[in-house]
Amino acid sequence: MSQNLLQLHPLLSEEEMLREIERLRVERKAVILAHNYQRPEVQRIADFVGDSLGLARKAAETDAEVIVFAGVHFMAETAAVLNPSKTVLLPNLEAGCSLADTLTAADVRAWKAQNPDGLVVVYVNTTADVKAEADYCVTSGNAVQVVASLPEDRKIFFAPDMFLAAHVERQTGRKLDVWLGECHVHAGIRPEHIDAQRAEHPEAEFLIHPECGCASHAIYNFPDTPLLSTEGMIHHARRSEASAFIVVTETDMVHRLEQEVPGKTFIPVHRSARCEYMKMITLENVYETLRDLSNRVSVAPELAERALKPIERMIAIG
């Protein structure tokens, strides 16, 4: 279908749009990366679906000329830092992150000014300018390992997720200076949601993300339940003898689990656990972004150079 024909007939059927996305992917020498929390139809068109760490690794490895990042803004920024010579596109520039928005570079600098010998560990869910102030960048999958490896005589600022920080403190025995930020999706998962699903599905195992505000409730009431990154959920579900799992994170993680671990049942903890920002990415804006090479995300070279070191440490660990 020619560009002129597309302009004359902008309203494509889903089938036509999928064909155009495939054609443009080849024509643009593009790769499509999608986060676990994306809509199922967006996950299905991606070359790779994963968590923040997996997507960062794929962004670092790709030889594609164009990276279409079906995720949120800080993820596209990370890809841009890792690929300064490539075109990184975010299908909807409004796709932000409530957790990343809680912390600024000025907040980190203020802590560093008061703790000149301290170390700054930031979650990947942060902006590039925050990462540029950090010593280490982590994901939920390697945060415990990173903090456990740091010198015990150094003060540690851990930001911005307070629930992940609490998990790291429990696992490492380290006392951290914690920024009191939270993800609106995970904070909204309540103890009563967990209790209701356990009552309805007593045979099911829990898959609980450490960002959840209900994590302490789960640990106290179900002490054998591990807290797992999204990749950890997949590995655990594969190994487990259980046939049913209650998924305590964003609802569309269920789709990826169903694809990766067929034959088992995955139950979302609550239908309200939806990231409004992730859902801003649609097939339509993936198609339009590929068609027009629009919505480019870039990071200033000086800032990217400073942010690169903690990002590379994140990719290398865990």
Residues annotated in the binding site for iminosuccinate, as ranges? 35, 52, 123-125, 140, 209-211, 230
3-state secondary structure of 107: helix
Asked if 164 and 211 touch (Cβ cutoff 8 Å), the reply is yes
CA distances from 122 to 35, 51, 133, 139, 177 (A): 20, 16, 9, 9, 12
Q: DSSP letter at 102?
A: G
Binding-site annotation, residues for [4Fe-4S] cluster: 97, 183, 275
Report the C-alpha gap between 257 and 47 in whole angstroms. 17
Q: DSSP letter at 100?
A: G
Asked if 217 and 191 touch (Cβ cutoff 8 Å), the reply is yes
State how far Cα 314 lies from the chain centre.
Answer: 13
Binding-site annotation, residues: 35, 52, 97, 123-125, 140, 183, 209-211, 230, 275
In the chain, beta strands by DSSP E: 30-35, 48-50, 66-70, 87-89, 119-123, 136-138, 156-159, 177-178, 205-208, 244-248, 265-268
